[in-house]
Structure 1
Amino acid sequence: MGEIKEHHSQESHSHEHNHDHGKMPIILYFIGLGLAIIALFLDNGNLLLKNILFSIATIAAGYHVIILEGIGETIENTKIKRRFTPNSHILMGLAAIGASLMGNFWEGTLLILIFSGAHFLEDYAEGRSKREITKLLEMNPTTARRIMPDGNTQTVDVSELKIGDHLQVLNGDQVPIDGIILSGTTSIDESSINGESIPKEKSKGDGVFGSTINGTGTFTMEVTKESKDTVFSKILQLVNQNQDNQTKAASVIQKFEPKYVNLVLIVIPLVMLLAPFLLDWTWSQSIYRGLVLLVAASPCALAASTVSVTLSTTSNLAKQGVLSKGSTYLSQLADIDAIAFDKTGTLTNGKPEVTNYYFADSVNEENIIDIIVALEKESNHPLANAILEKFEAKNKIDIEVTNQIGKGLTGDFNGKNYRIGKPTSFDDVSDEYIDLNNEWASEGKTVVYVAEDEEVIGLIALMDVPREQAKATIDYFKKLGIHTTLITGDSEMTGKAVAEQLGLDEVVANVMPEDKSNIINQQKQKYGVTAMVGDGVNDAPALVNANVGIAMGDGTDVAVDVSDLVLMQNDISKLVKSHKISSKMNRVIWQNIIFSMAVVAFLVVVSSLGLTDIAISVIIHEGSTLVVILNGLRLLTTN
């Protein structure tokens, strides 16, 4: 189980079925099921009609699984690998033919009905694994306001823009393409690029990225990249590229099947050919015993051994708020060697909170809080919301507020000017505040100063704090020896501060979306099976590239669409439950495999000794199938 890694090229190709045949396979299956039921109710006086109906039922129910997939894929995979590469579908078909040749048409039909039914259920359990990027495409800017030589603006397609073009971006507009600001000041929501929820203040000379959202200011910019080379275009290209390169890891059964089938296909003909010489059987006895052995060796319970387990696991997790897009991803989650986390909105709450504040002893704290609240309630900046959640005014006052990019909020009250701004916007600050600012900033916090007539009288620290369950989640994976990494577009100082609080093994900061995807590649090569947990557009390439992509349920639609598992209610502790339950799923699958093969071994032995016939073999087969199904259903109630 620990060996499941990313499977490449030919090895994985043999297990990637194309099930896109519409509803016809299911319709044929139910036609076969209906004909089999009708045949069962016919008396032996209509034996010929019964056997004809059973034969048609076998062909109808097994058409997709045995003929299209079994024979078709055996031929295809044999060509690719240049050696005979059968699957268990072929074996089940041969067992059904063998049973029919011995006059046991019902047993042959029953084998195919159970096997095909298990196959369709497995497809249902696998769910929708296709990665949708429609919403990602919708976020790609399509038009821009190009400034013409006469000073007027013209709306043009983004694809027409050339490096050096000048554009106008109005407040609330989407930035159409990567470039630098020529004039104007604004704040821009860059979460689609770096995942950060706090808008970045921008002015002349600063770089801007296509697909990001402009705030309240209007600015002009110069194009520095063609549309195909923008950061957002690279996100799209990486998602597509990683999606094309993704190969589904083979399940336990899929790895085991070809070897087992080859063994049976070699042993049964040898028994038929050698038994008359070695065991003094007649040729008719030899062929009959060989066919009985074929039915005994058919892995009916093996075929069903994963279905109830994966369906039960998927259903159980759904009830607990974890949506899975396929049982294979759950199996891989149990086997991860490394797990990487995005910071903002994944390990943290995704919005800043006031963590510290300090005012000079000479300041009336109640009065200054009233003034701070009056200033901040006129701002729509995310930091304002955090400050207003922390402080409550005792006396409501009205102040006319000016919001200056680079300077902060300013307003006059009782003949004095008050300003709240970032530390670099103030001169002549006392060492007391500088020391506190440095201390809090080293902990990854954002600090703002509060000044009266440009003299700093206090400061407030804010931070996007870790989720309540984050540390326990990290501790769980670390105890299992699974490598934990924080990958963030935020500064190294902030990233390290969060990583230290939570105890992560490694932190990689200041990363762009393409860096995240490359880091996942490195983790896969260094550690093995790697999971990625994220919530933003910028996480999409890494989520697709990881062996298991896990999205926070309240994250962007794009992250949810391209992920393999979704944690609803943004509860990261559900990741621990998912890992525990998926690990138990793998254990139960192995229990079923071992039990199924023990039954097969028993039937082979007693069949070889002539102690059973095909009817008893089928009864024991179906009994063992029922046992593995019931064993799998235990996972419906696992916590």
Structure 2
Amino acid sequence: MELGIGTANTQASEESLMDKVKIHGELIAAITSGVLIGIGWLLEKGGFSTASVISFLFAFVIGGFAKAKEGIEDTIANKELNVEMLMVFAAIGSAVIGYWTEGAILIFIFSMSGALETYTMNKSRKEISSLMELQPEEALVITDGVEKIVPVSNLRIGDLILVKPGERIPSDGRIVKGQTHLDEAAITGESIPVSKGLDEEVFAGTVNLNGSITVEITKPSTDTLFQKIIQLVQSAQSEKSPSQLFIEKFEGTYVKIVLAVVVLMMFLPHFLLGWSWTETFYRAMILLVVASPCALVASIMPASLSAISNGARHGILFKGGVHLENLSHLRAIAFDKTGTLTKGKPEVTDVLVKDHLSVEDVLLTTASIESHSNHPLAVAIVKYTKESLDRPLIQPESIEDIAGFGVKAHYHHDIWKIGKADFVGRSEAEAFLNGAAKKLANEGKTVVYIQKNDEVVGVIALKDVVREETKKAIDILKKRGIYTIMLTGDSESTAQAIATESHVDAYVAECLPERKVEELKKLKEKFSQVAMVGDGVNDAPALATANVGIAMGDGSGVALETADIVLMKNDLPRIAEAIKLSDRMNRIIKQNVIFSISVIMVLIVSNFFQFIDLPFGVIGHEGSTILVILNGLRLLK
């Protein structure tokens, strides 16, 4: 048995290793190519020319295989040459005229870009898998009083399923029996659980916190709100950005022009200018080398990687230079409320009791009763009491949890009720201290009522408070001329209160994931370049739809996977820092592009007039590449 287990573990390890090799295959190939280039260069300097050529040849094959294969396949499929093929031709041209090092370096740079593309694709697949894991695979169906576990995919409209405490709802439906509290953060993003009773709607992926409920399925598993979230993420990520479409169009034109000119250079000078065939071919190969976009590639990648490294040191993670580039073009930013503008957890803000009673005594009794509950509001009350009172909690004589309403307890011959207004009597609750509770509710706070022997004696107000740094961050963005808006699944009153407190320009309340996506699309139509900042699963479609998705570091894994940028310390002012970094990077990239294109044009003209030979052409070409790389590295400061 031990031998069998050991063999199984070994096989699992081997499979895991093979999976990693497959995932990172292109990166491994690129690094290997770079090592072989270094070896070839050392051998060449040592006088071992044959060995150096062999090393360079292996660098060509290992580093260029993936991109060459991709280029050939795309050329066949689209019936049009692309930059990949131009890189291959330029590298081969370098080798033909004896410049193996330059050709190998060209292959190395391009293979690294291919490895980054593959990494991004793997991240996209991983994020969809993370979403799928949040929906249960099985459900407990009740048929004529008999319980049976079936796959969620087999559920049909009208089926009755039993959902126990702690379990996730497997499919959209309505409650036909029982009451409970549901954690709907996966759908609405709100941290405070929602009380659900008979005939109320429940969504797949949400968590049943306490009571057992029987749910009638109203939608098939393929058409649930949660599935729509997944589809929205997939759809948004499959859409190509305008810049990407432009690059693809430019790519085909650039390749055609360069290859056409190279072909003409191989023949026309011989007939028109009287060049020898050797000189004609020699000049054509120089043109192919100096016209290759090596310097152009180096104009962007080193600058992007340097800026990304700079951001990482300051707690800002970018998932590629393109996202960092887009930041400086932003004209509007949409923010989720819970966990983004606010702390994401309810905190006690007000404690009011009748004049003839002690605030400390009422608070202590309330916290002692609530300490037997794991409801977020109860946890917040207990935490507040322990921090503000230097007194130990007491032990009630009996406690009864009334699902959907609150808690009832006996202590010293008194009956205490803690919960919603309807639980303690709505009319008395609304009349408490001349309507004080209504005023608190209008401020976006959740009110918990305290009743002692049929008399409402106090209220505790809780609120998901705005982060201290939120106002500063919003004000900085507004000074830059960026429009700010809050998108939240919370109620109108709460949204209005938080929007005013956080200084955002506008807000939209009661936003489910689909509505957030719709609002993002409207913003994109109006402002063109829009960012979304969020932290929950429900924010994933909006993060994917925005031009730039920004996730808070302690948010859900799905939000982090979907977003283009992650703020590791939940520090909103870092968004402004990231935008400044984007401005710097774009300036440097423009400098590099203009410089590299100018050098290429000068080299091409000089080659045509026979002012330079191959060594000087290579020095000019490679020298410009080194200069733009060094310019890009300034962003490391």
Deviations 1:43-65 (A, max 9, x none): 7xx7xx58965884685367437
2:352·2:359 contact (CA, 8 Å) conserved in 1?
A: no
1:134 partner amino acid: S
Q: Report the structure, 1 or 2, having the larger helix content.
A: 2
Q: Secondary structure at the match of 1:417?
A: strand
Q: Deviations over 1:17-75 (max 9, x none)?
A: x99768556656655664554345337xx7xx589658846853674377434555445
1:344 CA displacement: 0.9
- 1:332 matched to 2:326? The reply is yes
Letter of the aligned partner of 1:190 in structure 2?
E
Query: CA distance change for structure 1 residues 340 and 280 in 2, over 3 Å: closer, same or farther?
Result: same
Q: 1:184: how far off?
A: 2.1
1:115-166 per-residue CA deviation (whole Å, 9 max, x = no partner) reads 22222333455643431222222221222222232x2322223233332233
User: Residues of 1 paired with 2:151 and 2:628: CA distance?
Assistant: 60
CA drift at 1:384: 1.6
Deviation at 1:348, TM superposition (A): 1.2
Aligned mates of 2:583, 2:114 — CA distance in 1: 21
Aligned to 1:499: 499
Q: Give TM-score, length-normalised by structure 2.
A: 0.85
The equivalent of 1:142 in structure 2 is: 137
Question: What residue in structure 1 maps to residue 352 of structure 2?
Answer: 358
Matched, 1:114 2:105: yes
Tell me the distance in 2 between the aligned counterparts of 1:314 and 1:58: 28
Q: Per the alignment, in what secondary structure is the counterpart of residue 451 of structure 1?
A: strand
Q: How many angstroms apart in 2 are the aligned matches of 1:67 and 1:180?
A: 55
Q: 1:464 to 1:286 in 2, by over 3 A?
A: same
Aligned to 2:421: 423
Matched with 2:461 is 461
Q: Name the amino acid aligned to 1:116.
A: I
Q: Which amino acid aligns with 1:153?
A: E
CA contact (8 A) 2:204 2:224 kept: yes
Letter of the aligned partner of 1:146 in structure 2?
V
Letter in 1 for 2:61: A
Change (3 A) 1:180 1:624: same
Please give the residue correspondences for 1:153-552 in structure 2 after superposition, counting only pairs within 5 Å. Answer: 153-245=147-239, 249-250=243-244, 257-269=251-263, 285=279, 288-391=282-385, 392-396=388-392, 397-400=394-397, 401-425=399-423, 426=425, 427-429=427-429, 431=431, 433=433, 435-552=435-552
* Aligned equivalents of 2:370, 2:56: Cα separation in 1: 79
Residues of 1 paired with 2:91 and 2:81: CA distance?
A: 20
For the residue of structure 1 that corresponds to 2:357, the secondary structure is coil
What does residue 69 of structure 2 align with?
68
Does residue 614 (structure 1) correspond to residue 619 (structure 2)? The answer is no
Shift in Å, 1:215: 1.9
SS in 2 for 1:233: helix
Does the 8 Å contact 1:181/1:204 carry over to 2? yes
CA contact (8 A) 2:64 2:111 kept: no
Q: Deviation at 1:352?
A: 0.7
Q: 1:524 to 1:325 in 2, by over 3 A?
A: same
Per-residue deviation, 1:310: 1.9
Measure, in 1, the Cα distance between the counterparts of 2:25 and 2:172. 40
The one-letter amino acid paired with 2:564 is D
Instruction: Kindly indicate whether structure 1 or structure 2 has the higher relative contact order, using CA contacts under 8 Å at least 6 residues apart.
Output: 1
Q: Residues 370 and 627 from structure 1, CA distance in 2 versus in 1: closer, same or farther, beyond 3 angstroms?
A: same
Cα distance in 2 for partners of 1:233, 1:154 equals 24
Aligned sequence identity (%): 41
Q: Deviation digits for residues 232-281 of structure 1, max 9, x if unmatched?
A: 22223333333444569529976765544444444455566665677676
**By how many angstroms is 1:188 displaced?**
1.5
Q: Structure 1, residues 561-580: CA drift from partner, whole Å, max 9, x if none?
A: 23322222333333332222
Q: 1:166 to 1:90 in 2, by over 3 A?
A: closer
Query: Structure 1: which amino acid aligns with 2:340?
Result: T
Shift of 1:593: 0.9
Matched position secondary structure for 2:477: helix
Q: For 2:468, what is the secondary structure of its paired residue?
A: coil
8 Å Cα contact 2:26-2:115 kept in structure 1: no
| 8 A Cα contact 2:449 2:456, kept in partner | yes
1:555 to partner: Cα distance: 1.4
CA contact (8 A) 2:195 2:404 kept: yes
Equivalent residue, structure 1, for 2:16: none
Residue 340 of structure 1 aligns with an amino acid whose one-letter code is A
If the length of structure 1 is used for normalisation, what is the TM-score?
Answer: 0.85
Asked if the contact 1:357/1:461 (under 8 Å) is kept, the reply is yes
Higher mean alpha-carbon deviation, 59-68 vs 306-315, is at: 59-68
Aligned residues: 605
- Would you say 1:38 and 2:43 are equivalent positions? yes
- Deviation (angstroms), 1:314: 2.1
Instruction: Kindly state the Cα deviation for residue 431 of structure 1 after the two structures are TM-superposed.
Output: 4.5
SS of the residue corresponding to residue 428 of structure 2 reads coil
- Matched residue of 2:435: which SS? helix
AA aligned to 2:408 is T
Residue 313 of structure 1 deviates from its aligned partner by 1.9
Match of 2:19 in 1: none
What's the CA shift for 1:208? 1.9
Q: Tell whether the 8 Å contact from 2:447 to 2:461 is kept in structure 1 after alignment.
A: yes
Report the more deviating stretch, 158-167 or 484-493. Answer: 158-167
Asked if the contact 1:246–1:545 (Cα under 8 Å) also holds between the matched residues in 2, the reply is no
Unaligned stretches of 5+ residues in structure 1: 1-17
What SS does structure 2 have at the residue aligned with 1:475?
helix
Asked whether the equivalents of residues 99 and 614 of structure 1 are also in contact (C-alpha less than 8 Å), the reply is no
Deviation (angstroms), 1:193: 1.6
Matched to 2:132, the amino acid is L
Q: CA deviation at 1:216?
A: 2.1
| Offset, 1:411 | 2.8
CA RMSD, 1 decimal: 3.3
1:128 pairs, out of 120, 130, 133, with 120
The gaps in structure 2 that reach 5 residues or longer are 1-22
Q: Distance in 1 between matches of 2:173 and 2:88?
A: 63
